Structure 1
């Protein structure tokens, strides 16, 4: 089998422009990731004809080749052995690729670098909240009653699940603080402390801010500072993390090693803490509310238009990498309003891409493409769309367009019905677990739309084109 992996590695190497065109290379769970000196030298068509290659695409300055879990590391090791290129970390590849990005792309990449590492915790919390929804949602199993009402012995079981699930959202600033400070070059441990400081129990809970009759305050030498926490908020901890990392790096360059343990962390946290509660927190909290109100306002005034635009544009945004910016908006909406109407459309968009890929299995005659279409469809139905999008649908543009049309129609419908998710979960068929149970019916209709429309459109357009 190693001979096959070596042959695949050789062919990939030739079609990405040779060893001399590779600035750095690494791999993730399913893909080879290249920072190439000149992407125009890539022979994409020949590359995708290689036996184990399921697709390829370029994003955020990286050229990525989709191979698959359990195989990609073997091909990568063969490539390293053949070329002698040093094994690079994902961060080194990102840093090399970032040199080619414009300021907007760098900003989007920064958000992705911050939120992707914490995504497993958020998705896990979403799945657990889905289980809690099944146990506590009225009308799911019994008329107007929840399962825990009929079987009270399950009530405490559901309560513990809810506590475990809510932890990631209650202490969200701690997760973001850890990831953001790490991304900005500071100490991740200080980021955790900063995030938890912003949700300290001595502070007024942000979720009770609007209903509070009196806001507690500190008096700092005549200056009144509100003692308000930032539960569920994204912007305050993001900006505070940047400030903390900047101060820490500044101090480490100027304080002798012997005194760094005693001085750097205390000074950095103290300065950032005061700035967070006096300046950063109040300003970013207000900005976050403006963003939330603006997004909510659009979908309240014109839900059909909002659903059409976001449902239709999400997949194209994935191609550019800009979809990562909306993860922050989702988390802000969940923290401020208790739910997000954007994420349900993400789940349906993923299903639509999977459906279009599945339809291509009945359109194409090439056995490799049939196999790729089937496996990538299953992957998309479970929330991983890259193989379906880049390996199949974008190769046959009408399949991608069919998926976008189905997603847009479903987005219009569920937006009109006011479908919301209590959390971010698995963006595919299991996505219903994150939807508020009272909106399951509308979400399932949206799911039917993205299972039927892309399939039918892809089949019709494919037959008209008579694919081989």
Structure 2
């Protein structure tokens, strides 16, 4: 039955994005179906947003339909199958009535979007995110298993199962550098397996016999940062080889030189340097939260939503991964997740302030469940950002929740998340820290409640001008969700 439902969702989406022949590629991440389109003008945005399964749409380099965690992984294969069936049957996309005008309009939309989101910094950060996002499902799965194993270990239950769960939870993390190297080479145009091969040097136990910079190397030294740098170097070495090595010996010489040159540089340079950087990141994060406490949490929680809007939050992904690799959890994620709590509080205040605007209240009611689970797009692009001031007051809520958690870090109760990806209530199973499960859950729940309350109060009293209330608190007021602005990677669930 669920398969029929997922196929029905895919079938409803397909004609609204222009049909099978309007699609050049299909992919999905944690929450979104990502589609590359030939002609953007063939997409019916309003009809897509009206579909019950669609939580929102976001336009970036690809057209992104927000379906939520779990759902997107089930709908995407059905969507791919329908596209293939449609192409095999010779199905054509809908033809515009005035092809010239609509084509020009679509080209203008694409160009405007590309100009906004194609700055060198954003493009680079997006590519870094593309390396780590495919790893998130494994990080989540292994993180939850690690949490379960910790509970069994502390309670003394099922002692024979604990070693097995420890192996399952730790196996992926012990080799994460290899996956990062593989994805790095793939993202930057090299041969993925060569990137993985060079990165594998970092986790090879035999590096303990090698002396570099006056000290013996240790397996894993440099971690994901070293793997990223090593694979990036391998891509460039491979390109040089492809340019100068004769085709007759390319299959032998190019892989050998790529692995050899990149491997030597990794062993006698990158592992040490990346290890120093990784240690500095861990020390800086620990110092920031232990010394800065509430103030650090306030700044981090308050600025995260603007960072998301600018696409700069992607720079945090390698930092999160490095912290998880070093300490088993990232202490930054629970604080940053408070931005979502502020967003929920702001949306609840909007709901209360516009009792006569049934369309807006319906949008909020449908988006709140996803917001509580950390999927922020529907509330951001359907409510707060189009209204303006509630977006700012949502940041106030995030700052308050971040300050609450930061304060407890300073008081000696640090904790973090064993994986990146979820936020909101979905982060509870991933919490870990030296204080124990109970205090970790209580502090995080307190932060969420603080974020909800502060976001609500700030929005209720300061989120509207009199003119805004006059315009919005009526049945005839337009629904902000009808035309959310384009965005760059906004999801709180994809940090």
Does the alignment reach a TM-score above 0.5? Answer: yes
Alpha-carbon displacement from aligned partner over 1:333-366 (angstroms, at most 9, x marks no partner): 2333443220111333233324433554455545
- Identify if the C-alpha distance between structure 1 residues 27 and 161 changes in structure 2 by more than 3 Å, giving closer, same or farther: closer
After superposition, residues 187-226 of structure 1 pair within 5 angstroms as 187-204=191-208, 216-218=209-211, 226=216
Matching of residue 467 in structure 1 with residue 473 in structure 2: yes
SS at match of 2:205: coil
Compute the RMSD of aligned alpha carbons.
4.1
Tell me what 2:448 maps to: 447
After superposition, residues 225-374 of structure 1 pair within 5 angstroms as 226-230=216-220, 233-364=223-354, 365-374=356-365
Matching of residue 380 in structure 1 with residue 371 in structure 2: yes
Task: Give the deviation of 1:135 after TM superposition.
Answer: 2.7
CA distance in 1, matches of 2:334, 2:451: 12
After superposition, residues 376-415 of structure 1 pair within 5 angstroms as 376-415=367-406
SS at match of 1:161: helix
Tell me what 1:14 maps to: none
CA distance in 2, matches of 1:49, 1:227: 54
Matching of residue 423 in structure 1 with residue 418 in structure 2: yes
CA distance in 1, matches of 2:392, 2:214: 56
Task: Give the deviation of 1:202 after TM superposition.
Answer: 2.2
Alpha-carbon displacement from aligned partner over 1:168-195 (angstroms, at most 9, x marks no partner): 2221211211111111111222222222
SS at match of 1:155: coil
Task: Give the deviation of 1:199 after TM superposition.
Answer: 0.7
Task: Give the deviation of 1:402 after TM superposition.
Answer: 3.1
Alpha-carbon displacement from aligned partner over 1:407-430 (angstroms, at most 9, x marks no partner): 111111111111321512521203
- Identify if the C-alpha distance between structure 1 residues 200 and 65 changes in structure 2 by more than 3 Å, giving closer, same or farther: closer
Alpha-carbon displacement from aligned partner over 1:438-461 (angstroms, at most 9, x marks no partner): 432222211221233323444554
Conserved? CA contact 2:396–2:458, under 8 Å: no
CA distance in 2, matches of 1:117, 1:127: 17
Alpha-carbon displacement from aligned partner over 1:42-87 (angstroms, at most 9, x marks no partner): xx9x95996447655555x56656578559959x9799711599xx
Tell me what 1:186 maps to: 190
CA distance in 1, matches of 2:150, 2:266: 35
Task: Give the deviation of 1:159 after TM superposition.
Answer: 2.9
- Identify if the C-alpha distance between structure 1 residues 244 and 400 changes in structure 2 by more than 3 Å, giving closer, same or farther: same
Task: Give the deviation of 1:226 after TM superposition.
Answer: 3.2
Conserved? CA contact 1:55–1:392, under 8 Å: no
CA distance in 1, matches of 2:298, 2:258: 46
- Identify if the C-alpha distance between structure 1 residues 167 and 350 changes in structure 2 by more than 3 Å, giving closer, same or farther: farther
CA distance in 1, matches of 2:143, 2:14: 41
SS at match of 2:94: helix
Conserved? CA contact 2:196–2:231, under 8 Å: no
Tell me what 2:133 maps to: 116
CA distance in 2, matches of 1:31, 1:368: 26
Conserved? CA contact 1:54–1:372, under 8 Å: no
CA distance in 2, matches of 1:196, 1:6: 41
Conserved? CA contact 2:222–2:276, under 8 Å: no
CA distance in 2, matches of 1:176, 1:440: 31
Alpha-carbon displacement from aligned partner over 1:185-225 (angstroms, at most 9, x marks no partner): 11222222222221112234xxxxxxxxxxx5449xxx967
CA distance in 1, matches of 2:136, 2:11: 37
CA distance in 1, matches of 2:115, 2:174: 33
Structure 1 segments of 4+ aligned residues over 6 angstroms from their partners: 1-7, 22-27, 34-37, 76-80
- Identify if the C-alpha distance between structure 1 residues 452 and 132 changes in structure 2 by more than 3 Å, giving closer, same or farther: farther
CA distance in 2, matches of 1:191, 1:389: 38
- Identify if the C-alpha distance between structure 1 residues 325 and 201 changes in structure 2 by more than 3 Å, giving closer, same or farther: same
Conserved? CA contact 1:170–1:232, under 8 Å: no
**TM-score, normalization by structure 2:** 0.71
Q: Give the one of 150, 156, 163 matched to 2:160.
A: 156
Alpha-carbon displacement from aligned partner over 1:257-279 (angstroms, at most 9, x marks no partner): 45333222222111111110111
Tell me what 1:143 maps to: none
In the alignment, structure 2 segments of 5+ residues that lack a partner are 1-7, 100-109, 475-495
CA distance in 1, matches of 2:304, 2:49: 30
Higher mean displacement: 363-372 or 379-388: 363-372
CA distance in 1, matches of 2:36, 2:242: 33
Alpha-carbon displacement from aligned partner over 1:354-381 (angstroms, at most 9, x marks no partner): 4433554455545443343233222232
**TM-score, normalization by structure 1:** 0.75
- Identify if the C-alpha distance between structure 1 residues 459 and 328 changes in structure 2 by more than 3 Å, giving closer, same or farther: same
